[in-house]
Structure formats: structure tokens, C-alpha cells
A and B are shown apart, each in its own frame.
Chain A
Amino acid sequence: MSLRDRVWALDRAQQSVTFKLIATGVIVALALGAVVYYAVIKAQRERALTEAGLVEAAGSAAGAARGAGDGGSGDAAGAGGAAGAGVGAGVARARLENELDSQRRMVEEFGSLRRSSGDAAALAGIGAAVALLVVWLGLGLTYLVLVGVAGGVALPLVWSGSAWWSGVGVSVGGVTVLAGAFAALVRAVGVALGGSGPVWSIARNVVTESVRLNISVVFVVLMILAVAGVPHVLEPTSPLRYQVQSFLQYGTGAPYLLTALLALTLSCATVNFEQRGRVLWQTMTKPVRAWEYVLGKWIGVCCVSGALLAVTSSGVFFFTQYLRNRPANGEAVAYVPLPGQPNPTPDRLAIEYQILTARQSRLANVFKDRTQEIEEETARRTEAALKDQVVPDSYRRDTERRTRDAVTSELLSRQLAIEPGDRKGFEFDGLGGARESGRPMTLRFKIDAGGNNPTEFYKVTFVFAGGVAIVREAALGQFASMPMAPELIDPDGVLRMVVVNGDLASGVANAETMSFPPGGLEVSHPVGRFSGNYVRAMAAMWLKLCLLSMIGITAATFLSFPVAMMVAVTVFMAAEGASFLRYSLETYATVETGGDTYYYRYPIRAIAIPIVLLFSPYSELRPVGRLVEGLSVPWRTVGEAAAVVGALVTALWALASGIMRRRELALYSGQ
């Protein structure tokens, strides 16, 4: 039997139902075995930690702190109490009670995470799903050979002992897994789109085209290389939170950008090349309606971008979880601090409660009950500025708007500034849910003072209702955070807090006036888990890609490829920057100081305003930004985005279909 015959025989074998059933059993058994094995390993590690006293050390550290707090004496300082002697012991006791309670809950959560085998189960589940997909597509043996070859190349490199070669080996393995998963997923998409009829067949053709067209392959290869390579640009000596945040930033941002460019290129190319190559003639002389053609193309591009996003985002997710399970700064192993280190360590606190979470944050409501004051001051200053002048209404409105901005900014600065030894009250509303959840919150703040010398530290006291006061020392100009118990929130869902510029316990004030920059004082509380947030963020990103695809297709129905690409990329940039555009438009006046009218600005505003209105929901979605900052991407936001994107896509679909129907398809002017 020749080699060719043997290959054919193997191919027939992997296509047989018997082989598929046997392989399915093996895969399921392997996945279950992997989860059990991982759970056993975890249990052994937990026992080792206990024997080493590390886990108990963490508990005893908290206990010791509690003991110290209990040993304190004196009256608790009242909320808003002035800095000074006599309240120090009370402040210390209240601080400890609050912090220890928060810490206790965090330590419990971390212990649960440490012992959990959930990630392993998820990884095994997804791996098994991909493997089953491969087997039932009739590619089981092919992929087995592929894995064997890749393993044969990668494993010796990983075990070579050289860090550089080991990294290369890991990259080879990563690229193989991602490329293999993408190929299998695309194949599965092709099978799913296998129905008869124009829409599905055109969509499937786009998927096939994307895999076999050089321009798409370049993007796919680039993206897989980027995702596999990002871990190697991380600085291993930096705090883990920075590594996690950097990886999330680049690991999700770069693939999104590349996928967006792929979606635009593919959508323009798939329509335009067909016109230029006249292949369209043979499609459109079949019983294919214009709307079916456009819809089929769009579904195809969406499927390709979705498959690519699913594969890259899965890779990023699991590597992020891998990073999360490495020891943070000050930890012996993940979630277990070294003796003498706070529990949780600041690094771990930031990772778990600010980055790898789904939190909602509330800024201090400094304008509460100040609206009338702002309006009155605005009116007074506007009148003074325009006194005895006859100006157009539009100029008056512009002046009022600018004056209001200035008054608001001044008020904000005044409200957020605190003299040495002085205090100021702040309120954070809408925190009823956080109180009910019972999960620890975090207070995030940044202090500006003088020249913001980063080597200089200020002590600040946060006093809450009920006499709980916490003193914190923070570097100037740097964000700092601290845990808080949710019971500090009033039953009406408002967190009331007084900030003292100094150490209330010792009665020492700071040297200069301190202030919080806008956005520099916020309370955040977890409303979900990172995994769920990640899925929602990816869904939001895919929605954005779907809109981009339709933009590209619409442009390509009446423009040549280069022009369509230029238009599509411009719209993409305008859509991404719609928030910035909106901000810019607020100060882009058509009538300037002195009453001069700038007529050329009218058309610019006329073009910019609809773009801003159209794409603001798109721009404000910011799934990557929110994910990296640990902010929640709620389903409601995703749903609203889906509605907006759906409306835009439908409008563009109607436009593209109309163009296709009216166009003389035998004419192509884009050469």
C-alpha cells in the first residue's frame, strides 16, 4: 500500500462514525480526568500551604490585628470630627473593625478562589468542545498529527532550559492551538451555514473566501502571532496587577483593532473584488435579490470576525487566568501573603477588586443641590460679559455654555480641595445594591498637592457615619485604594463620608492644601465576576465589528476598493472617536468672540453632529477600556448597544440593497 493510499485510508477512518464515537468517549474521559487531576493537585497544594503555616499565618495576621483593635480604648470619633488629640484611640478601633471585617470577607473569597477548580473545568470544557468539534468535522487524526508535530517542535524548546527558547516553544504551542482552533471553528461555521438558498450560500462563500484569500490570511496570522506573542512583552518583575492590566490592554485591544481592520478589509474586498472580477455577474443573474446578496455578505463577514474574536479572546482569557494564579507582590503563592505582609496584599487587592472583576463605580456627587447656584452664577457672569452689547442669540448661547463650564469647573475644584487640617463632606449615592450584596467595596482616590512630588506622602483620614474613621497614607499624584465594608452605606443607598486633610488619629495635618482631581475620588463595588464581564465585553466588541462590516459592505457597493476602504476606515475612526468629537463640538462655535461668524464651520458642524449622534452609543461602549479598568459591562448596556447597532445595520442594509438594485452591475468604474 502506497503512502497516498495509507493517507486516504486514514482519512476514511477519521470520517467514520465509529471512529467519531470512540474519539468522543476518549475526549470526555480525558477532560474529566484532567479536572479531577487538577483538583487533586490543588488539594495537595492547599495541604502543603497549611503545613507550611502560610494559610494560618494569613488568618492569624487578621486575628492579631483584630486583637489590637479590641485592645484599644476611648470614644469613637464622630463623623466629621475635627482633627485633634483625644480621638486617636477611637479612630484606630473603628478603622480596624471596618478594615478587618472587609479583610475577613476578602480572605474568605480568596481562599475560595484558591481552592476552586472552576478555571480548570472551564478550560477542560472548552478544550473538549473544540476537540469534539474537530472529531465530528472528520479531522480527528489530522489534528492529532498536527498536535504531535507542534508538540515535537515546541516541547524540546520549552524544556531546553533557555528562557528565550522556552518562550519560543510556548509561542509555537500557542500559535498552533489558536490556529487549529480557528481553522476548526471556521470549518464548523461553514457547516452551520450549509443550508440552501442565496443568503446562506453567499455567507458561506465569504467564510471560505476569508480563509483562502491572502489578504485575510495575513490578518489572521498577524492576530494569532500577536496574541501568542503578547505574554512575552510583559515585564516579569513588575507588580502582577500591571502585568495583568497590560496583558488585558494589549491582548484584547490589539486583536480588536486587527479584527476591525480585517472586517473592514474583508467586507470591502468581498463585494468589490466580485464587481471588479465580474464574478458578480454570475451571481446576480441567478435568482438572488439585492438584499439577500448584501445580507449574505454581512453574515459571512460577521461569522469570520466572530470566529476570530472567539479564538483570540479565549486565548487571552485563559492566559489572564494563568497570570491571576501567579503570586502577586508580597505573596508566597497566589492569594497567600508572605508572613508579615498585609492580607490581602495591595497588589492582590487591585487585581481582584479593580481589574479582574466587574465593578460599578460612583463618583462623589459634588453638585448635589448646587444646580441653582451654578445657574445663577452663570447668568450673572454672562450678563457682565455681554453688557451693553448687541449680539446674535447663537453667540449668547455659546457664551452661556462656556461660562457654565467655567463655573462648574471652579465649583468642582473648590469642592474637591481641602485646606491643611480642614475637612469636607462627600456623598456617593446609588449604592443600595452594594449594601445588599454584602461584598467588600473599594475606595479609590488620588491626591494632588503642590507639585505632586511622587516621593512625598500625605496622610488622609476618611470618616464615615457611625464613627468609623480610616487613616491612609498615599503618594501624591498616584491612585491608591482601600477596602471598605458595605455596611458603611446608609440604608438609603448613600455613602456619606468626610475627608480630613491630615491624620485624625495623631492630630497631624498635612503641609499644603490637597485636592482630588475630577474622577479622583470614587467608590466601586463588585457587581459580577470577571468571566461574565469578559464574555459581555467580547459580545459588545463583536457587535461593533458587525456594524463595521456593514459599513464596509455598504461603501463597497458603490465605491472602488481603495475609496471604499478609505471611507470605511474614516467612518470607523469617527465612530470610535465620537465621544471626543462630541466634546470638541461643544467648543466649536460658529460665532466667535466679537460676533464674527465663521461660515465654513456650518458645514463642518452639519457633518459632525449627525456622526456624533449616530455613533455616540458605539463610542461610549468602550468594551476594552471598561474591561481593563475592571468596570462592569452590564447586559443592559450590551442590549442597548445591540439595539443601536441593529438599527444602524438595518439602515445601512437598506441603503446598500437599494444601491445594488439600482446599479448597473455590468459597469465598474473603480479600476
Chain B
Amino acid sequence: MAVTQAGQPVVAVQGLTKTFKDFWMRTRARAVDGVSFEVRPGEIFGLLGPNGSGKSTTIKIVLGLLHQTGGRVAVFGRPPSDVGIKKRIGYLPEESYLYPFLNARETLDYYGKLFRLGADVRRRRTDELLEMVGLGGAQYRPVREYSKGMQRRLGIAQALINDPDLLILDEPTTGLDPLGTRQVKDLILELGRRRKTIILSSHLLADVEDTVDRMVILYGGKVREEGTCESLLTASDRTVIETEALDEGTIARIDQLIRASTGGRASISRVSKPRQRLEDKFVAIVEAAAAARAATSGAGQGGQTAGFLRADAAPQGQELLRSLSADAPDGAPALGAPAAVTQPTNAGPDRTLLQDLAEPSGAGVGGARGARDAGGAEGSGGGNGGTNGAGEDASAAGVDRGLLGSLLGGERKDDDRNAGGAGGGGEGGGGSERRP
């Protein structure tokens, strides 16, 4: 666990500037220009921006691979050049740069040794990580024979070999298939539950949106926006409602009701049928094939999160988590509280999530994040794609649940999913189609 002093950010960047110069010392490019942000302990922090916006440069400066031209950077309160802090950092570059002549097991063993891990610890973690990233069956093949996605999986595994307090992921899902992408997101959330600090750099908006607590958006080497997903993404003037299939008459009655309730200020602007997403369809097919033991020379399906990385692997961590959530100020997300929609189980949150996601109305990855963000707040959903915190929004907008039930004309039993996802259908729920 991080031994960062209370209140001290894990990463503090102040007025960071980086210019690249040519042979004659003329400024060729200003990659980072006065960037400032802080990453707090236990936070999943997003660095978002298009290509060339300065994300990777910032990360490399934080890691000591580049030297800043101006400004200050502190990691765990120390400068990036301090080798001591690197014991607590895991890093995944934007591409997996691995020794082509080693196999996966040798690769993890090598990086484990760099951290001075004992032979038993290395062996155990290697086994668990290889299983987790689905490379158990290809562990003795040289890395040069791996596909890009397999190399990416191995890169993720090496970044976790030391059970880092600070995990820096630069475009972690690049080159991964949808299943791998989903697993990486689950992993990030799992680590987040363990109060690991994570910096996630990406230009894939869905990756960031599904996982991060807070983010900065960079463009041209400057910070353009900074804040939580909630504050940056919530459209507080819109409401999305999801129900079972309705006929035209019912929809018209609902519309009338809304008009009446709001004095004509609001009405239904769009009605659509949810459609299963390709990603979910793909995951379902792969899972079915894996269940039928279809042969593959590539990466396997991957297993559950490595034992040493899971929340139940560190009881003291859980204790700390509980104490932190108990100390949380009013209104702040209750950390570590039971998830409302998709309860992440210690036995295998990713599998649960995948099963849910395979169903059309299943709670998505966002569900896990929603659970983490909003904790046990009733009605907070696992929504994604405009449904983050939709439950809260619904509540805030004053939608009458009793009225809704009567309009539906049934005594519908609220199960967890519905309760948690009043409008929070998740990625699989076609939330985007309901987006006004």
C-alpha cells in the first residue's frame, strides 16, 4: 500500500513544461506547456487527449524517462529521478516493449528480479498473472512469436509484477481484442477498489469514461479541462427512462403525463429500441467457444484477477478502505460500500461482469465503476454512455417511481438490476440510444 503521507498527492505536477530542441538548441516542439495536476492516493486518474497532446510526454517525465524543461514533478513526494520510488510504480508503455528472445515466464521472472522479489513470490505471481492475462498456454513461446494483443497482455502482466501502489497505463487497451479490453477495464476497477493509484492515459474516450474518477483533458500540451467524470459529463438538464417494451399508446400517455407534470416544458423527444452492442455479442461468442474448448494458439480467455491483486488479498487494505469510507465527508462517494447494481465479488468480478454484459440489459463495466463511484446509493446505476449516475439524476429530476409503475400497468418487481439501473442500463442497455 502507498505510504504517502496524509494529504500528500501521489503525483504532483506543477507548471510542467517540456520542449524538444534540435542539434542547434532551437526549440523544435513544445510538447507540454505549463501543465499542472495532482493525483491523489487511491484515485483512478485519466489523462485524456488526442495524439500529440502531451499525454505520453507527461507520463515519461513522471517516470524519469524524460527531463522537464520547466516546472516541478513529484512522485510520492520525491523527484522522478529517485530510484527508490520506482519500487512502487508499475508502468505499461503505449506499446509493449519486451525482450523478443524471452518467453512470457522468463519475462515476468526477469522483471520480478529487478524488484528483488524472492523466487517463491516470483513464481506465484508469474503463475497468477499469466493465468489472469490468458497467456498460461503460451508461456513458453518466445515473445517475438506473440501477436500484438498477446504482447500487450504480457506488458500488463509485467506492470503488475510488483503489486504497485501507482500504476501508470499508457493506452492500455491498444491492440487488445474486446475481451481483453474488458478485462483490462475490470482490472483497473479491481485495483481501484484496492486503493491503488492509477494514471490512465488514453485517447479512447470509452476507456477513460468507464474507469476514471477524475481526469484532465489535454490539447496542444495544455490542460483544457479538469474534473470528475460526473462534473464533466453529466447532462443535468436531461432524463433517460428505461422500461420493458411499451406500445405506442402507452408512450403517448407517458408523454402526456410528462407534459402535464411539467406544464408543457418537457416531453419525450426520442424513443428507441435497445440493440445489443457488437462488443457484447463478440464476448458472448468467444465465451461460448472457450466453454466448448475450441483450440486456439493465441491468448486464452484469461482468468480472474491475480490473487495478489484482488481486494481480498490484503485484509489490511480492506480495513483501510472501510475506515476511509467511514471517514468520507457527506455527499462524497462512499468508497468500498456494497455495489448497487453489479456486486463485484471477490471470487471473480470479471466473469460476473462479462455474464451480465452478455445479456442485452446487463450492467456493464460502468456498473462496476458506478458501484465504486456511487457506492450503495440507491438508484445509482451501472450506467455508461450518458447514464453515469443516472439514478441520482433521476432522483434529482423528481421522477415519480410510483407513477411510473402505475403507467406500466404492472406490479413489476424491482430486482437489483432495475433498482440500480433506473435508466442505468449500462453499456449493454443501449443507454446511448435513449440519450436525448
Q: Which residues of A contact B (CB under 8 A)?
A: 195-198, 200-202, 205, 208-209, 212-213, 277-289, 661, 664-667
Interchain CB contact (< 8 A) of A282 among B60, B81, B98, B112: B98
Minimum CB–CB distance from B395 to chain A (whole Å) comes to 45
B408 at interface (Cβ–Cβ under 8 A)? no
Given known contacts A208-B102, A282-B93, A667-B66, A196 and B158 CB-to-CB distance under 8 angstroms: no
Q: Judge whether A288 and B114 touch: CB under 8 Å.
A: yes
Q: Which residue of A lies closest to B62 (CB)?
A: A285
Q: Judge whether B86 and A287 touch: CB under 8 Å.
A: yes
CA distance A209 to B107 in the complex (A): 12
Q: Which residue of B lies closest to A669 (CB)?
A: B23
Given known contacts A196-B118, A282-B97, A664 and B67 CB-to-CB distance under 8 angstroms: yes
CA distance A282 to B96 in the complex (A): 9
Q: Which residue of A lies closest to B106 (CB)?
A: A208
Which residues of A lie under 8 Å from residue B98 when comparing CB positions? 279, 282
Per the 8 Å Cβ criterion, residues 57-93 of B in contact with A are 60, 63-67, 81, 83-84, 86-87, 89, 91, 93
CA distance A223 to B49 in the complex (A): 54
Interchain CB contact (< 8 A) of B86 among A213, A280, A285, A667: A285
Which residues of B lie under 8 Å from residue A280 when comparing CB positions? 97
Interchain CB contact (< 8 A) of B97 among A281, A287, A288, A289: A281
Q: Judge whether B113 and A277 touch: CB under 8 Å.
A: no
Which residues of A lie under 8 Å from residue B66 when comparing CB positions? 664, 666-667
Which residues of B lie under 8 Å from residue A196 when comparing CB positions? 112-113, 116-119, 122
CA distance A279 to B99 in the complex (A): 7
Q: Which 3 A-B pairs have the closest CB atoms?
A: A201-B113, A212-B101, A666-B65
Interface centre among B95, B115, B122 (most CB of A within 10 A): B115
CA distance A280 to B99 in the complex (A): 10
B111 at interface (Cβ–Cβ under 8 A)? yes
Q: Which residue of A lies closest to B67 (CB)?
A: A664
Q: Judge whether B86 and A286 touch: CB under 8 Å.
A: yes
Interface centre among A195, A280, A661, A666 (most CB of B within 10 A): A666
Q: Which residue of B lies closest to A200 (CB)?
A: B113
CA distance A491 to B24 in the complex (A): 73
Q: Which residue of A lies closest to B142 (CB)?
A: A212
Q: Which residue of B lies closest to A213 (CB)?
A: B101
Interchain CB contact (< 8 A) of B111 among A281, A286, A664, A667: A286
CA distance A356 to B229 in the complex (A): 82
Which residues of A lie under 8 Å from residue B110 when comparing CB positions? 201, 205
Interface residues on B, range: 35 or more
Q: Judge whether B101 and A208 touch: CB under 8 Å.
A: yes
CA distance A277 to B95 in the complex (A): 11
CA distance A200 to B113 in the complex (A): 9
CA distance A277 to B155 in the complex (A): 14
Minimum CB–CB distance from A567 to chain B (whole Å) comes to 19
Known: A198-B116, A280-B97. 11 other contacts (CB 8 A): A196-B113, A202-B114, A208-B101, A212-B142, A213-B101, A282-B91, A282-B93, A282-B158, A285-B65, A286-B162, A665-B65
Q: Which residue of A lies closest to B89 (CB)?
A: A285
Which residues of B lie under 8 Å from residue A213 when comparing CB positions? 101
Minimum CB–CB distance from A581 to chain B (whole Å) comes to 33
Between-chain CB contacts (< 8 Å), 7 pairs: A196-B116, A196-B118, A205-B102, A281-B97, A286-B114, A666-B66, A667-B66
Which residues of A lie under 8 Å from residue B112 when comparing CB positions? 196
CA distance A281 to B170 in the complex (A): 13
Per the 8 Å Cβ criterion, residues 94-144 of B in contact with A are 95, 97-99, 101-102, 106, 110-119, 122, 142
Which residues of A lie under 8 Å from residue B142 when comparing CB positions? 212
Interface centre among B63, B81, B122, B142 (most CB of A within 10 A): B63
Which residues of A lie under 8 Å from residue B102 when comparing CB positions? 205, 208
CA distance A665 to B91 in the complex (A): 15
Q: Judge whether B97 and A197 touch: CB under 8 Å.
A: no
Q: Which residue of A lies closest to B92 (CB)?
A: A282
Minimum CB–CB distance from A662 to chain B (whole Å) comes to 9
Which residues of B lie under 8 Å from residue A277 when comparing CB positions? 97
Q: Judge whether A209 and B115 touch: CB under 8 Å.
A: no
Which residues of B lie under 8 Å from residue A200 when comparing CB positions? 113
Q: Judge whether B101 and A285 touch: CB under 8 Å.
A: no
Q: Which residue of B lies closest to A289 (CB)?
A: B83
Which residues of A lie under 8 Å from residue B83 when comparing CB positions? 287-289
Q: Judge whether A285 and B97 touch: CB under 8 Å.
A: no
Minimum CB–CB distance from A436 to chain B (whole Å) comes to 54
Given known contacts A285-B63, A664-B65, A209 and B101 CB-to-CB distance under 8 angstroms: yes
Minimum CB–CB distance from A161 to chain B (whole Å) comes to 44
Q: Which residue of A lies closest to B109 (CB)?
A: A201
Which residues of B lie under 8 Å from residue A661 when comparing CB positions? 81
Interchain CB contact (< 8 A) of B93 among A278, A288, A667: A278
Per the 8 Å Cβ criterion, residues 290-314 of B in contact with A are none
Which residues of B lie under 8 Å from residue A284 when comparing CB positions? 64-65
Which residues of B lie under 8 Å from residue A667 when comparing CB positions? 66
Q: Judge whether A209 and B119 touch: CB under 8 Å.
A: no
Which residues of A lie under 8 Å from residue B81 when comparing CB positions? 661
Minimum CB–CB distance from B237 to chain A (whole Å) comes to 44
CA distance A284 to B60 in the complex (A): 11
Minimum CB–CB distance from A666 to chain B (whole Å) comes to 4
Which residues of B lie under 8 Å from residue A666 when comparing CB positions? 60, 65-66
